[in-house]
Copies of this chain bind each other. A is one copy, B any other.
Amino acid sequence: MKIGIIGAGRIGKVHGESAMRYVKDAEIKAIADPFITDATIEWANKMGIKNIYKDYKKIIEDKEIEIVLICSSTDTHSQISIEAINAGKHVFCEKPIDHDVNKIKEVMAALEKNKVKYQVGFQRRFDKNFRAAKEAVLAGKIGDLNVLKITSRDPGPPPVSYIKVSGGIFLDMTIHDFDMVRYMSGSEVEEVYAIGAVLVDEEIGKAGDIDTAVISLKLKNGALAVIDNCRRATYGYDQRVEVFGSKGQVAVGNQLENTTVISNGTGVTAEKPQHFFLERYMEAYAAEITSFIEAVKTDRETEVTVVEGLKPVLIGLAAKRSMVEGRPVKIAEIEKEYGL
């Protein structure tokens, strides 16, 4: 089972290592990146990857390669997806597929014509903590869902240059939370209302984005949800979920750096949450790649299909409009505009 990785950044390397480590018979045949660094070459050598390309098309064209992991910059995801799908490859694509719904529709069209697997990189669905919460919900432990609460805060903001091309906080950061709302509730979103502020860095505001947000959502199953985001939490990467229902609540807390607790005159101090998303979700990244390759091998549906990749983008666009226009926005309004 030969794999090609497009994009040799952090996440591309993480996926490559996971595939090597956890998937029997997996072989990374090639990696492609327009900017190949010495560090990448060294990493590829260590991993036994023999082909390093600047042009990703060499991977697309390689008949031996069955699986393509798209880890390049967001603006290339949909185009490469389409090319890879049309070349008959199974595709794992980092989130989001695209900010432009029409481009996602093109990916969907390509998938209809080619019988290949496609998985979008919402790795949080594979996190053991969120998964255990989901299982508790499915096992009926909280009864019917009443209120779903998600807190999602980054340890610090990305460079403003990134924010300018990221599609904004709702499509870049909250998109994971929109996916989590759908995953955890098992329901579609009906309507969204978003408020936001620039409280972390004025440059983010100048770039046309916000850095702090509260988004309330009505779900189709009648339950309510709320997400709060911030680009900066001094205490680390804050990733919590509370699923509250008629029989009780299941909450997912942060994973701490370690289990030490120091007691002294200041108080009783536990460790901070793990600081970095790669550290926090390392196991989840491995699990999603393993699950994807397993889907290819056993010819079953992937756990995060192209539709699962589309939906959070629609919610993100609705949130964006809600904040700009200061009104609640129905997802149907966005869907209608794109003929969905």
Residues of A within 8 A of B (CB): 21, 24, 46, 128-129, 132-133, 136, 141-142, 144, 146-147, 149, 151, 153, 193, 195-197, 199-200, 212-214, 216, 218, 222-226, 228, 230, 232-235, 242, 244, 246-273, 326-328
Chain B residue with Cβ nearest A149: B228
A261 partner residues in chain B, CB cutoff 8 A: 250-253
In the complex, what distance in Å separates the CA atom of A297 from the CA atom of B302?
44
Assembled-state Cα–Cα distance A142/B233 (Å) = 10
| Residues of chain B within 8 A of A151, CB atoms compared | 149, 242
| CB-defined contacts of A226 to chain B, threshold 8 Å | 214, 216, 226, 228
Q: Which residues of B are found within 8 Å of A266, using beta-carbon distances?
A: 269
Taking CB as reference atom, which chain B residue is nearest A225? B214
Cβ 8 A contact of A263, one of B230, B260, B272? B272
Q: Say yes or no: A212-B146 contact (C-beta < 8 A), given A128-B258, A268-B235, A326-B328.
A: yes
Contact A216–B214 (Cβ < 8 Å): yes
A129 CB contact (under 8 Å) in B212, B258, B328:
B258
A sample of 24 inter-chain contacts (CB < 8 A) reads: A132-B257, A136-B262, A141-B262, A147-B214, A151-B242, A195-B218, A199-B222, A200-B246, A214-B225, A230-B244, A232-B246, A233-B244, A233-B248, A234-B246, A234-B264, A234-B265, A235-B264, A235-B265, A247-B264, A252-B259, A266-B269, A267-B271, A268-B271, A268-B273
